[in-house]
Structure 1
């Protein structure tokens, strides 16, 4: 009896090939979470072909291209944070070992550049080779770079494959949120466990001190709203026109549609690239407004769409300046809006819906309420989740759980901003907030014979609970107004440049120590600053912290080995002629980064020039 040949449908044969052991090596680099969706995407590419020699090459090319774009070389996107720490240790040790073979600065830089490239990391650029060496032989530097590289690559893949959206994981992937929450817990434990003491003998944990600053989300939200209200007060007094703008990116930056379907126009751009696009367009727009003599001040807030693509909310106040070039146009806001639309529509202006969606503008009617009300909910919901995360389509982002961890919408926004390095809140125009904060450090007894502007500014920043509120508008008046150029500020920071010894050698640090007033040249109103010194926690004052089980079996502590002077000579810096002892050799002494165990030689000190 003759056997029959059974032909499976094309899609089944394609899927069988993709899930076969033959194709497994191509999927090895792809994180397990992504594999089903990568296979689905590959099936779509293979659908037109039924001949195995064609569809096999199509699938292989697609997966390789996807891995090349979203899976960095040298790292595993599925690894845990403990694995990243171990990888960082290996990378630092590898660089240290390789640098012993460097015979010149150029050779050393090539070694470091190759090692960075093997992990998909850019080599940091500094004027001195020693500064670069100090970082690349430090596992902590590698840890930070690898966390950033792995985290952003994994998040970009999640966005590309459609995991990040309203119907799945809004704003940021669950992995990104959990990583951010874990980082916050580590930081909080470290701050609570570290005690510092000032020159007066007062002891606090760093966590207690941080609660008094804008690191406290409630304080941060309150200060932002205070500044926004101050801008509004100035605008009302001066008769400035207010506008509220939502500026979005072109379609190519959006991975998903609101319906949850993939956007065919998406070009793989990351949220960081989209935010850079918005920054570039608004910078061009602000320059154009300045050239036409239109003054502008206010706030901008960056927040994510459901698919992680950022958009900006702008609360702006405009007025004509002395250089206003179109005095016949009395409606300055309309003129400013026209210029903004020109730049918002500049890129991909031909795509459908660009004129309707790219720039949404609302004119602020003072008779209907406060301008701050337009932006208050965006401040609240993106800092500590006080306001509801509701979109104009009516979709509400609610809290989710992963195991016993609650993933709130504000936690997702924070993880999104942290993952992509996006600054959420930025002041446009006005006097700097750093001077405002420095004024709060100045005691009243330092204001003897102070000019009127200094007294006005100092009084504006003072707050007495239940009696007096700080006033940003009053501070702006003392500084010269909301549109005062930086070079014409009445009150500026007094700064001191110091050389400090840090982890990577000597650095120049600029530290404020008071303020200067242009009405009183040569006088500094010094602020109160304490000198804090770490102290050993005691039983009564210390903070109890848990000790985690070691994540690896590697002992990272400096090891001590007893050796003879002869052995020391063998492990020391290679015996090079003087002409070959370049900056690269001298850098080892500065960073003390010997790749071998630190050596203790009994009785006999090391010979000069051994470099240990």
Structure 2
């Protein structure tokens, strides 16, 4: 008697997604389910669920064979992307888990430095130490900005290397990198699974859009609750109003871009230059989805797609543009104008460029740009390269160049008077937020000025309301105040003058070693001219407070604006020939220093207040988070002794922080930590800093920990140890 085959049980869920039973009721259903299980094996649950959801949609709309082919390719691409991460994705799919992983990898770097320096007792060559410390980061594809140590190594290179080492040991730096990498991976899976495209969610996934909107809502709520005050000048302003008046406001940003674009066009008209509009698009392998115009713009999967992200596509376009710029420089071609980057419906970026060029160089410019736009994958374009590189000559008789690019600028900012967005099949006013979320997620700069002076100088000059004696600054100020970008370009030396040769430049004050990573902080304070005149455009002494604290109750928010803690600088327009510093007495008072401290510092001492080191040199007060070393005689090897001490000082600080972290973790006794510390004050301060960070980042677990409470009590009971060192 023949046995009847046992019925196959179809699971209710696959990768957390409900199974549509009817799709697998046919004779190939069991085999297909086995194939799906094999294809999705090892993928993160979120990614597997998205792919299976798209698989069922395809199986329902097309044949099962087509859906199986798609799943095999999509799962392979997703697996390749997942294997870029050196840890399982489930370890970084939540913020608390990411924090744990960040601490682990920062500790790995600290251990590498500890071993390389034999417990911070043996100095090592900067290039070797940095290469060893970079090993964990390279497994992730992360990297801080690194110095070039291949040639002559200067103090600047060494300071840069020390800052890079500090970042690599900072769990906060690791957390930011890991969080961004995971978010972009999730978005890439959404692109592959069809969640980012026309008719579904253009430019970004719905999840990314909601996250961006929630962040903007929280930001707006915070801005509405805060004030910016300047007690020295008696000024008070709502932070929301300050934000609305700056280029952070989309409307202000759009208007400024249009003013600059119109200025370029006016200049081109005066000089008889031609206006050219170019569109650059990446090769097909960067596009996950295509549109079928014959079928009402329906989106279909692109078989040539190779799993690249919008960030990869933007990097490709930038590389090709760099080649084109080099070729233009060799040919002596000068161009100026604007570049606008906007996404296709699936998130792949493409460029629009409005460039002005001398008529005699126009054909050569087209050849250069066309060559590099179509340099790769030429088989897919054959004799028609308009899909990759499109050219349009702007005829003034039919409309202005500014009017032509206006819609591309507005579409990518706020959708002002654009109407419908045909790429997304929606109104531009509705999709502008999607575009902003896309640019924020992938870190893509939407607008880039090509040629001409820096816009920051223009913005700073517009802060000056009165005439200036210096003719160089005054001519540029008048043009900026009138909103005449063309005249401003003329006053700044033309469109092609190198930045270092411009007659008016930005002026900064530098606070040495003041950043978290021991870097100099550059603070914009005004402008300076080639004639030696410097003008102040910004006030010092600004602070951000909550509106509830506006009448003096409560603590101030530790969010200093451009002025930091320095005294305000007079903004009168009398040219002094140099930027005038605040009075030393005012600086000392604001830093909490008295005449006794001043006498000690003028005698060469360093005074510590609130964990900051203060010293006076050449009549100026300096502040730093690191102890300065100076005044030593040269060492026998040609290096200053203070330079060697500085390197050892940094290594000792690394070790102290690592030991303090061990105290917090319970791996090192507090008594032993304090007993072994060479500087008790620094040891307590380091421990206090880590406790404050833990309290802010994990308040619930902090208050529940008896161990952390005991450490906080110890730090609070320690007396202030400010004084001369």
How many aligned positions are there? 540
Would you say the 8 A contact 2:229–2:236 is kept in 1? yes
The equivalent residue for 1:488 is 501
Deviations 1:297-325 (A, max 9, x none): 00000000111111000010002xxxxxx
Where 2:412 maps in the other structure, the secondary structure is helix
- 1:424 equivalent among 434, 446, 453: 446
Structure 1 unpaired stretches of 5+: 320-329, 401-406, 463-468, 544-557
1:349-364 equivalences in 2 (<5 Å): 349-352=378-381, 355-364=385-394
* Cα 1:456/1:147, change in 2 over 3 Å: same
* Cα 1:269/1:313, change in 2 over 3 Å: same
The equivalent residue for 1:413 is 435
Where 1:507 maps in the other structure, the secondary structure is coil
The equivalent residue for 2:479 is 460
Tell me the TM-score normalized by structure 1.
0.76
- Please report how far the alpha carbon of residue 248 of structure 1 lies from its aligned counterpart in structure 2 after TM superposition: 0.7
Deviations 1:310-358 (A, max 9, x none): 1000010002xxxxxxxxxx64212211221111111112223551211
1:379-458 equivalences in 2 (<5 Å): 379-388=409-418, 390=420, 397-398=425-426, 408-445=430-467, 447-448=468-469, 450-451=470-471, 453-458=472-477
- Please report how far the alpha carbon of residue 591 of structure 1 lies from its aligned counterpart in structure 2 after TM superposition: 9.2
1:58-97 equivalences in 2 (<5 Å): 63=75, 66-70=78-82, 72=85, 74=87, 76=89, 83-84=94-95, 86-94=96-104
* Cα 1:200/1:59, change in 2 over 3 Å: closer
The equivalent residue for 1:157 is 189
What is the rounded CA distance, in whole Å, between the counterparts of 2:226 and 2:133 in structure 1? 34
What is the rounded CA distance, in whole Å, between the counterparts of 1:228 and 1:530 in structure 2? 33
Would you say the 8 A contact 1:46–1:59 is kept in 2? no
The equivalent residue for 2:583 is none
The equivalent residue for 1:338 is 367
- Please report how far the alpha carbon of residue 97 of structure 1 lies from its aligned counterpart in structure 2 after TM superposition: 7.0
What is the rounded CA distance, in whole Å, between the counterparts of 1:460 and 1:132 in structure 2? 42
- 1:309 equivalent among 344, 348, 373: 348
The equivalent residue for 1:471 is 484
Tell me the TM-score normalized by structure 2.
0.65
* Cα 1:523/1:73, change in 2 over 3 Å: same
Q: Does 1:17 align with 2:30?
A: no
What is the rounded CA distance, in whole Å, between the counterparts of 1:61 and 1:360 in structure 2? 32
- Please report how far the alpha carbon of residue 200 of structure 1 lies from its aligned counterpart in structure 2 after TM superposition: 1.2
- 1:239 equivalent among 272, 275, 278: 272
Higher helix share: 2
Where 1:162 maps in the other structure, the secondary structure is coil
What is the rounded CA distance, in whole Å, between the counterparts of 2:324 and 2:78 in structure 1? 36
What is the rounded CA distance, in whole Å, between the counterparts of 2:34 and 2:268 in structure 1? 67
Greater mean alpha carbon deviation, residues 359-368 or residues 504-513: 504-513
What is the rounded CA distance, in whole Å, between the counterparts of 1:602 and 1:416 in structure 2? 45
Deviations 1:180-215 (A, max 9, x none): 111212222333333332121322343332222100
Would you say the 8 A contact 2:328–2:334 is kept in 1? yes
Q: Which has the higher contact order (CA 8 A, sep 6+)?
A: 1
- 1:369 equivalent among 372, 383, 399: 399
What is the rounded CA distance, in whole Å, between the counterparts of 1:24 and 1:254 in structure 2? 23
What is the rounded CA distance, in whole Å, between the counterparts of 1:602 and 1:221 in structure 2? 51
- 2:309 equivalent among 245, 270, 273: 270
- 1:254 equivalent among 282, 287, 291: 287
Where 2:425 maps in the other structure, the secondary structure is coil
What is the rounded CA distance, in whole Å, between the counterparts of 1:184 and 1:59 in structure 2? 36
Would you say the 8 A contact 2:479–2:488 is kept in 1? yes
Would you say the 8 A contact 1:31–1:78 is kept in 2? no
What is the rounded CA distance, in whole Å, between the counterparts of 2:446 and 2:245 in structure 1? 21
* Cα 1:134/1:261, change in 2 over 3 Å: same
Q: Does 1:292 align with 2:331?
A: yes
- Please report how far the alpha carbon of residue 98 of structure 1 lies from its aligned counterpart in structure 2 after TM superposition: 6.8
* Cα 1:117/1:297, change in 2 over 3 Å: closer
What is the rounded CA distance, in whole Å, between the counterparts of 2:690 and 2:145 in structure 1? 20
Task: Report the RMSD for the aligned CA atoms in angstroms.
Answer: 4.4
Where 1:261 maps in the other structure, the secondary structure is strand
- Please report how far the alpha carbon of residue 67 of structure 1 lies from its aligned counterpart in structure 2 after TM superposition: 2.8
* Cα 1:107/1:255, change in 2 over 3 Å: farther
Would you say the 8 A contact 1:505–1:590 is kept in 2? no
- Please report how far the alpha carbon of residue 42 of structure 1 lies from its aligned counterpart in structure 2 after TM superposition: 12
